[in-house]
Amino acid sequence: KANRLFKPDDTIVDVLGNKVGGGHIGIMAGPCSVESETQIIEIAQKVKASGANFLRGGAFKPRTSPYSFQGLESQGLELLKLAKNETGLPIVTELMSTDYIDKFVEDVDVIQIGARNMQNFDLLKQIGKTNKPILLKRGLSATIEEWIMSAEYIMAGGNENIILCERGIRTFETYTRNTLDLSAIPIVKRLSHLPVIVDPSHSAGDWRLVEPLAKAAIIAGADGLMIEVHNDPQHALCDGKQSIKPEKFDEIMKKVKILSEIE
């Protein structure tokens, strides 16, 4: 179902009127984690003013260490809803467990499946039975083929509203947290009709690389970006090193707008 052979036209995922794919660029921005009401509302207002069309923010966090901040969980979802009420921005947030599917279907606009769960086939099958838009991130060491097959799992259940997200893959390089695979964009677009966006923040692991990688992604044909933005990156509870401030996000958005018109 994901194969372009069977559907030559680009899929356009429409989330409350915000389109991604088929020439429509979707920008998802916000903090790694929802931390407080003032934090999420302030960031939501700022990224919206700069032109983001989705608010990202983790409530359930897949952290490497069990002793790291795990997210505000259900309370985080409530704060995301408040920020959506304030700004109208649809919410993108990560689902880690099948236990919360019904709650996510109710409260969330785009269900994010993180890199670590890209091959959680039970989770993929369960969200395939919903009609919610899904953001499917590429696994830490997943090939393009494996990534598309994971989208196929969701589509096999009947849900064809999928946005793919390249977020960097494991390589031997240590200057970046992951290596952004820019070539995945044109390859996925040749193989599949599904939209593909790029997350330069988790690819880089370093805020200084977010702008060049975001610009490169747009020029390579990405249908959008997911960018971590924090009002006080030094004190962020998660991923502060790769988070940009709202002012920087505003600058990047102006450049992305020009580049997407060239593309």
- Applying CB under 6 A, the residues found at the interface with ligand PEP are 32, 58, 62, 94, 114-116, 137, 167, 199, 202
Q: Give the pair of three-digit tokens for residue 31.
A: 């903090």
The item of Mn ion, ligand PEP, none sharing an interface with residue 115, based on CB under 5 to 8 Å by kind, is ligand PEP
State the virtual CA torsion across 225, 93, 22, 243 in degrees, nearest 10: 0
d(CA 132, CA 253): 27
The minimum distance between CB 201 and Mn ion, in angstroms, equals: 7
- Site string (62-101) toward Mn ion, x via CB under 5 A: ----------------------------------------
The reply to whether 185 sits near Mn ion by the rule CB under 5 A is no
Q: How far is the CB of 261 from ligand PEP (least distance, A)?
A: 27
Q: Does 47 bind Mn ion (CB under 5 A)?
A: no
3: three-class secondary structure by DSSP: strand
Nearest to 136 by CA among 164, 172, 107, 174: 164
Q: Is 32 in the site for Mn ion (CB under 5 A)?
A: yes
| Rounded Cα distance, 116 and 22, in Å | 28
H, E, C per residue of 103-164: HHHHHCCEEEECHHHCCCHHHHHHHHCCCCCEEEECCCCCCHHHHHHHHHHHHHCCCCCEEE
Shortest distance in whole angstroms from residue 56 CB to ligand PEP: 7
Q: Residues near 154 by Cβ (< 8 Å), separated by ≥ 6?
A: 124, 127, 128, 134, 136, 162
Q: By beta-carbon distance, which residue lies closest to Mn ion?
A: 32
Between residue 198 and residue 217, which ones bind Mn ion under the rule CB under 5 A? none
Residue 194's binding partner, choosing from Mn ion, ligand PEP, none, with beta-carbon cut-off 5 to 8 A by kind?
none
Indicate the residue among 109 and 239 with the shorter CB distance to Mn ion.
239
- The tokens for 140 are 């830490």
- The CA-to-CA distance between both ends of the chain, in Å, stands at 27
Question: Is the CB of 235 or the CB of 254 nearer to ligand PEP?
Answer: 235
Which residue number, 46 or 230, has a Cβ lying nearer to Mn ion? 230
Name the binder of 62 from Mn ion, ligand PEP, none, CB < 5-8 A by kind.
ligand PEP
Q: Is residue 239 close enough to count as binding Mn ion by CB under 5 A?
A: yes
Partner interacting with residue 136 (select from Mn ion, ligand PEP, none; CB below 5-8 Å by kind): none
Residue 77 binding: pick among Mn ion, ligand PEP, none (C-beta 5-8 Å cut-off by kind): none
Scored b (16 or more CB within 10 A) or e, 234-253 reads eebbbbbebbbbbebbbebb
Closer of 32 and 47 to ligand PEP (Cβ): 32
DSSP state of 236: -
Binding site for Mn ion (CB under 5 A): 32, 239
